[in-house]
Amino acid sequence: MKGGTIYTYNNTTTTMPPGKKRWSWLVIAVLGLVLLSMLVPLAFLLGLHNGFHSGYATERRSSASSRNDATLDDSPSVKGGLSSRVDGLLKNLGPTLPKGFVRDSVKEAENKTTGFVVPKPVIKPPPSSPPEDFKALQVIVESDKMCELKFGSYCLWRRQHREKMKDYLVRKMKDQLYVARAYYPSIAKVPHLDQFTQEMKQNIQEFERILSESSSDPDLPPQVEKKLQKMEATIAKAKLAIVECNNVDKKLRQLVDLTEDEANFHMKQSAFLYQLAVQTTPKSLHCLSMRLTVEYFKATPIDADQSESFLNPNLHHYVMFSSNVLASSVVINSTVMNARASRKQVFHVLTDKQSFFSMKMWFYTNSYKDATVQVLNIEDLNIEGHLFSHLSMPQELRVSFLSASESRTEYISVFSHWHYALPMIFPTLKKIVVLDDDIVVQRDLSELWSLDMNGKVIGALQLCTVRLGALKGYMGKENYDANSCTWMSGLNIIDLVRWKDRDVTRKYQSLVQQKPSEATTIRAAMLTFQGLLVALDNTWVLSGLGHNYGISKEAINKAAVLHFNGNMKPWLELGISPYKVHWRKYLNLDNHFLTDCNVNP
């Protein structure tokens, strides 16, 4: 037949007209299109399930753009990240389609448009248990120890004072807002959902306004329950819409990343505020200093003539640099209370001009058995060749170690610049004991005066858990033994005669090179006494009470001196509560100056 096509089947020849030939090819094309529409999404989703997460961990994902409101859209790029919480959210909050929903939606679309409509296949969700290769890519949650290495003792304090969130409605609103933001960009792209898009946008903005003004359930406006129900209905309607699940998934992950970035920002901000609180004088202590200063000028106390005791080298002289009245009082009181013979004890407190009058008034109105206390204004001392006129306190250096076997943090306290002027401040003395103001004495210290120093200059506690090699960033180009142990201030016995013979002060000044900074101070402190230091027995000083929560009661009771090195000083609210009791018992809380200023550390 002209223009026809001949088919042969079982030795029978059939001729097909041209019209039927075109129709058969159309049927084949349609069937092929249907098959591809089913296979391509299936292959894509299977590939997404098996390989999407590994790529998301290292790439930046571009955000979906909203055509209605740029403020509710993603940022141009968000740093990828993985967490187990993401998968839980995707599983619990993913779009759920009721049975027959796709079929009914396709029929509705056929009534509105002309032509052949190919329905999207309903793909079964992936199994709940992730594959083994995905488990291997899970990101390890940062532990408290890693937090301690990064932010210091702030993380230890945060763990101790962590409170559970109690505001149920606020938390629920935040969760709903989180999910609504994930669906909004995909909903906004559907042309026939303009009205629903506007409704969803208004609900999101309403929740943002409420949460910006409320931080707890009592702050929420009335009828908030109705707003919650309205948002729940909006989210449920959004889940029923036909949207690209990939876009919702990507948006939700971007929100997770933004939330993690925000949490990290707040972590750094709170760590900074914690450090600020550590370095700031508490209001009660500031009040105490001001009250004592006012009383000093009212009473104008006259010093008794005790110059012989101050200069007598046969007595036991203790030196302390401090601007903290309360801390100085505890150090002196604890030393005197545990001494066998307090009559031989002389304390020299070196402070600045701002704290001088309050110190004078405090030690004028308080007695410490038979011990003698002298308060000196460091700014009034005219020391030839000394470059520093202001008071500088002992410095603390935080050193963190991270390895496969352990992770720990140590605080090293070292002398300040003024410590190297001690032979010039006390030219008549032969031996002195230098105390930091963050210690508590629990045993008689008179044995230190008979300690055999073997011709050395200083006796100190050595910290062999931190070698000089760990401080190479501070050591510069100086020659030193990397395996040498570092040493600590806190409790130090100093032979001033040997100090002068070895010209230690000049050695220190050459190391500082008239450029005082943290690095030069650490380097000079560690290198000045090379070969001139005798190690004190470990039973003399127990350090770490200002940052280490793991010290046992037995170790505390055995130590002669407790050193609160670290950020958590005992006079601060941030101090570690179990250790503060050993400091508080040497504080007379019945003193009227303390009660008037509400001093109760």
Q: What is the pLDDT of residues 182-223, one digit of tens each?
A: 888 888 888 888 889 899 999 999 998 998 888 788 888 888
Cα gap 401→407, rounded to integer Å: 5
Which residues of the chain have a pLDDT value below 50? 1-3, 5-14, 47-83, 85-86, 89-142
Residues constituting the chain: 601
Q: Is residue 133 assigned to a domain?
A: yes
Does some domain include residue 162?
A: yes
Strand order in the sheet with 316-321: 372-377, 345-351, 316-321, 431-435, 485-495, 458-467, 533-535
CATH code of 451's domain: 3.90.550.10
Residues 235 and 94 in one domain: yes
Residue 4 lies in a domain: no
Give the residue from 232, 252, 277 where a domain finishes.
277
Which of 231, 251, 277 terminates a domain? The answer is 277
Q: Choose one of 277, 295, 312: the last residue of a domain.
A: 277
Domains: count for the chain: 2
Q: Tokens 């990290």 map to which residue?
A: 264
Report residue 435 as tokens: 């105390």
* Per-residue model confidence (pLDDT) at position 578: 92
Residues 288 and 254 occupy one common structural domain: no
At 385 the pLDDT is: 56
Residues with Cβ within 8 Å of residue 462, at least 6 apart in sequence: 485, 486, 487, 488, 533, 535, 536
Is residue 591 within 8 Å of residue 366, measured between CB atoms?
A: yes
Beta-carbon contacts of 108 under 8 Å, excluding residues fewer than 6 positions away, are none
Note whether residue 355 is domain-resident: yes
Distance CA 487, CA 219 (A): 53
In one-letter notation, the amino acid at residue 276 is L
Alpha-carbon gap, residue 146 to 267, rounded angstroms: 13
264 and 298 together in one domain: no
Tokens in use for 358?
């309050």
pLDDT of residue 49: 43
β-pair type (533-535, 458-467)? parallel
155-160-162-163 Cα dihedral, nearest 10 degrees: -170
Confirm whether pTM is higher than 0.85.
Answer: no
pLDDT for 514: 60
Pairwise CA distance, residues 599 & 55, whole Å: 57
Task: Please give the Cα distance from 67 to 278 (Å, whole number).
Answer: 49
Residue 544 lies in a domain: yes
Establish if 370 belongs to a structural domain: yes
Same structural domain for residues 188 and 69?
A: yes
**Spatial separation of the C-alpha atoms in residues 527 and 535, rounded to whole Å:** 15
499 and 574 share one domain: yes
302 shares a domain with 220: no
Q: What is the pLDDT of residue 441?
A: 97
- Both 559 and 531 in one domain: the answer is yes
The reported pLDDT for the residue numbered 41 is 60
| Whole-number Cα distances in Å, 527 to 62, 124, 194 | 54, 70, 74
Of the candidates 519, 568, 369, 346, the residue with the CA atom closest to the CA atom of residue 435 = 346
Query: Do both 521 and 444 map to the same domain?
Result: yes
Q: Which domain holds residue 189?
A: 18-277
Q: What is the CA radius of gyration of the chain?
A: 37
Whole-angstrom CA distances from 253 to 94, 320, 409, 537, 583 are: 12, 56, 34, 56, 50
Q: Looking at this protein, which amino acid is placed at residue 302?
A: I
Q: How far is CA 578 from each of CA 266, 275, 308, 455, 551, rounded to the nearest angstrom? A: 28, 21, 42, 40, 10
Based on the fold, state whether residues 421 and 368 are members of the same structural domain.
yes
* Same domain membership, residue 244 and residue 263: yes
In a domain, 247, yes or no: yes
Rounded CA gap, 395 and 321, in Å? Answer: 12
Contacts of 299 (CB under 8 A, 6+ apart): 361, 364
Bridge-based pairing of strands 345-351 and 372-377 is parallel
Looking at residue 230, its amino acid is K
> What's the pLDDT score for residue 358?
94
Per-residue pLDDT at 147: 78
Same domain, 384 and 302: yes
221 in the same domain as 113: yes
Look at residue 403 and tell me if it is in a domain: no
User: Are the beta carbons of 216 and 167 closer than 8 angstroms?
Assistant: yes
pLDDT at 389: 54
